[in-house]
Amino acid sequence: MISKNKLKELRQLDSKKHRREKGLFVAEGPKVVGDLLDTFTADTIAATLEWWKCHPDAHSRERFELTPEELDKLSFLQHPQQVFATFPLPSQAEEEVTSMPFEKDICLALDGIQDPGNLGTIIRIADWFGINTIYCSNDTADAFSPKVVQATMGSISRVRIIYTDLCQLIDKTPANIPIYGTMLDGDDLYSTPITSIGLLVMGNEGNGISSSVAKRLTHKLLIPPYPPGNKKADSLNVGMATAICCAEFRRRCK
């Protein structure tokens, strides 16, 4: 039986403030929890209702059975999915911010993405295309909120998320490393030369890439509409745009 105090404590993990205070985040459902538990050398998830409590020390974990009523009270989902788990928030050391894996591969940078569904989708897209690191501006939505974690469908267990000041990151990047960004005044993605290394910046849903980051781009890219000249949507959803760009980078720069 989960106490009222413990239930309240767990429900508070919907808040970024409390996630940071407790050093924990929530995942739900056999698929999402199963992928995350792999990093803790998981036991098989049972068919019964359960709560997995994972600890940062030595990747230890505990399993508790739940009643349907307890799961309903714990879950952040409209339709609870049998398994609820709490995981330690990944630590972010300074060397992670400055390691710059985009000197050897393509990485994503997200500038002010606000919608949890978009952020979760982008993390899932990165996982699909083998992009292992995403840099997020400090005003991007929290990747470890329940909604984002759920939208990643387990991909958050395989993609490293680093929050940092994107302008400072770019300013420290060697001059020979390309900084790509999607802009309405950019060059055609399909005919512009691109490389297998660098940083690909995707901007805010409504305002695009911020002016401070935009002026630091070395290559502006545009996903061209088709056919040219016809009346069409003003822009693409940022998740769709990310998928198109990642597919083109991987197609041409394997």
Note down pLDDT in tens along the chain; length 254 residues. 788 898 899 999 999 999 999 999 999 998 899 888 887 655 556 556 778 888 766 567 888 888 889 899 999 998 988 899 999 888 775 556 667 888 899 999 999 999 999 999 999 999 999 999 999 999 999 999 999 999 999 999 999 999 999 999 999 999 999 999 999 899 999 999 999 999 999 999 999 999 999 999 999 999 998 877 777 777 889 999 999 999 999 999 86
Q: What are the beta bridge partners of residue 85?
A: 27, 52
pTM of the shown model: 0.91
Burial of 44 (0-12, 13-18, 19+ CB in 10 A): exposed
Widest CA span in the chain: 64
CA separation for the pair 221, 200 (Å, rounded):
10
